[in-house]
A = this chain, B = another copy of it.
Amino acid sequence: MDYCIVSEIPLFHSIGEEELIRIFSELNISETRFRKEALLAMQDEPCNRLIILLSGSVKAEMIDSSGRMIKVEDIVAPNPLAILFLFGQNNRFPVQVTAREEVTALVIPKQSVLRMLGMNQTLLKNYLDISAGFASRLSQKLHFMSFRTIRQKLAVYIMKRSKETQSDSIDLDKTKSALAEYFGVSRPSLERELTKMQLDGLISANKKKIEIKDKKELARLIHL
């Protein structure tokens, strides 16, 4: 295994090469390759190993018993998957994970993860930081979902993106269909609201670019 690649993994940040080799040598860690469309984990399967992507990307989906899929998230290297659900009482994968392309991944059994975290304080801190990051995004999404109207959700989304890029003009990274899905609303409804907001002079939207025209009103929308 290549130290250059492994040291890029957030979980192993700031850990020296010798220390890393020592840790790896003591544990049962394997590198596995998955083809496109291969299953890395099935929904409801016991979550007994940590999977960290080394290259490629996967999609996580929820399947209900009627077979309908709900896309949950995309995960790209070098991130871990389902790190929040590795431990716990009845820990099962909440989603099905499929390779979107050729994927290589590190697979570490749960027991080894536990030992590993006890071996190195920095590693432990990394693990906790990464977990907190995921938890924070989960919680943010929940907060986001609590906004009632599409207009409010758009306001939140636009203001957040604008803050991130320090600009009154934002570029959509996802397609509008994906955005509608993320919002949990239908695509035409999202389009309609974008159009209305443009008519109302709140924003100016063109293709994948949105410009903020009335920051005050957008802020007001969010705060009730």
Contacts and interface: CB of A to CB of B under 8 A. Distances in A.
A114 B89 CA distance: 22
* Residue with the highest number of chain B CB atoms closer than 10 Å, among A132, A138, A143, A148: A132
A26 to B, nearest CB: 14
Contacts of A135: 84-85, 88, 131, 134-135, 138
A224 B66 CA distance: 7
A27 interface: no
Given A87-B132, A88-B129, A223 B65 contact: yes
Given A88-B133, A89-B133, A64 B118 contact: no
Contacts of A148: 184
Interface string A134-146: 1110110111011
A167 interface: no
Interface in A100-157: 114-115, 117-118, 121, 124-125, 128-129, 131-136, 138-139, 141-143, 145-146, 148
A89 B224 contact: no
Contacts of A121: 114-115, 118
Interface in A175-224: 184, 222-224
A56 interface: no
Interface residues of A, number: 41
A88 B133 CA distance: 6
A86 interface: yes
A64 B114 CA distance: 39
Given A124-B114, A135-B85, A62 B184 contact: no
A91 interface: yes
Contact of A94 (B66, B88, B139): B139
27 contacts: A62-B143, A64-B224, A68-B223, A84-B131, A84-B132, A84-B136, A84-B139, A85-B132, A85-B135, A85-B139, A87-B125, A87-B132, A88-B128, A88-B131, A88-B135, A89-B133, A94-B139, A94-B143, A114-B124, A114-B128, A118-B118, A118-B121, A124-B124, A131-B131, A135-B135, A145-B184, A148-B184
